[in-house]
Structure 1
Amino acid sequence: MSEMSRDDLRIVAGPANRVLADTVARELGGEPDPSAVERFPDGELRPWVRDVHGADVYVVQPTGPGGGDSIVALLLLLDACHRAGASRVTAVVPYFGYARQDRRQHGGQAVGARVIADALATAGAERLVVVDPHTPALEALCEIPVEMVTAVPVLAHGLAGTGDGFVVVAPDLGAVKLAERYAALLDTPVAIVRKHRESGSSVHAKELIGDVADRRPIIVDDMISTGGTIEAAAGVLLDHGAIPEIDVAATHGPLVPSAIRRLHALPIRRLLVTDSVAQHDAFAEVHTIAPLLTDTIRRLHEDKPLDDLLIRT
């Protein structure tokens, strides 16, 4: 691809989190390109974008919460940009829904992450940018390049001031590497809770690895949806003598209404999430990932490496 001028960079804001996309566009020195997603009376969506012929276009749209409409809007916006003659189209998906469905647990199930990834490529995306996806296998599932950037430094900065007397807790085995990244930035030890998921909203925690007695726990995860994992982990921590002043940090907060009630009942001192999905509940302390996305998009546009922004496994 030939070298582009700054004027060729375009941000198209999807409807799921227009505030975040608008902020990214302004931090890049402009405004998001005019676009809209019209809804017919029967619910069908139809997008419209301005002429983006020859431009390097970044469509910013998380796929949730709510899943269906957000995904369809993203796919249609990508297709609209591709058909309008964009020279390159990148899907910037801060929260990638269906990433939990990266494998089949039982016969008769779908691999949802692969289905969505294939659909993005078919719709015209040539690259995918995601923030702290639920599974690192997402890259292997996609036929297009995937840039998996991390918001851990953003949230760790929000937790600054911790250290002696704190312990970072992985609420399940899948979050161990994530907890280690937080612990390295916060200079704290790590503890691990083993859990068993009984259903989409019911979690049973089994045992604890590590010492939490008389320490303030910081439970970290990539996302909180129902709050069941946090609730189960908190119970184990308290049973093992942790101080009942819990901090919780998660990149994504697609919090369902029952999650807010569940978390309110726990001895949570602070709940930190990012604005990867639009947040409306005052209970959560929201830290923006707009600078992270701005830096990522600028570097991709200028064909510069993202090494220090990527998830380190």
Structure 2
Amino acid sequence: MAQRPPPTPMLQAFVSAAQCGSFARAASELNLTASAISHQIAGLEAWWDVQLFERHSRGVTLTEAGQALLPVTAGFFRELDGVLHSLRPDTPQPLYLSCTSSLCSTWLIPRLHGSHTEASFNLDLVLTSTDNLGAHQYDVAVVMGYGDYPEHHVELLMRDAVFPVCSPAFVRGNGDIALADIARHPLIHRVDDQVCPGWESWFAFQALAAPPYHRGPRFPDSSQAISLAAKGSGIALGRTALVYDALKEGSLLALNGPVMMSPAAYYIICRNGRQSEPDIARLFAWLKATADEFVGEVREQCPQICSC
């Protein structure tokens, strides 16, 4: 006899915690407490008699059993949503646009301002800011990577250059800062990974010897590091799309020197076959036109940080 399926709240807690990598973030997403999420997961593990997560001080990771069950469980909710939508074809549905956290706050939202009232835009959007693509429902997503997104239609949005930035007050307090002397100053870190290069990668690119270990605040989100730099706390690595507005406004300065190209780029993606849907096609077109206009402005105003 087939086993009775577990209650839906348990499944929702499992999917959210797996995609967020944290019971606390899953709790915030589902409007619950972390304790409630923990109880739901414990109940599901008891229901299925398998351990789904390894618990760590900094979050949770899926066990082998959890990795096997996540695609099936997450797929259930996607298919359910699709069927419900097909049963109500005449009900207006907004587009869900997901965007990487840093790009969303520093580049996309300022350019959405006012655009939603233009006839050429005129889209009903729900915007989510996340670095975990599976954490939210999306129709279209702006992601940072290498363009390899199976089962998706993918189009290049734009590329970034990487270079040190700091506040004008920091320069006034420290004088001109030569590239070879950067390691002597307080550095603000974006956790280094293959997609977002950190100071270790920058020092290697410049053929400079990095200190064995450089103390300083470390952030998983580039915009947080850049925000702290703008307050005069040190030097951060900026990326063209994330700092251009601040450079133009004068709250940040780019230090002189050759820029490093980001190994990853921004892409727009949607599920294969959906790119021809009118609203999705219009959103793709708006994003690409906005990015093209932005790159053109950077090329004209700040060619030294242009990524093209």
Sort the TM-score into its range (normalised by shorter chain). under 0.3
Is the strand fraction higher in 1 or 2?
1
Which has the bigger relative contact order, CA under 8 A and spacing at least 6?
2
**TM-score, normalising length: structure 2:** 0.27
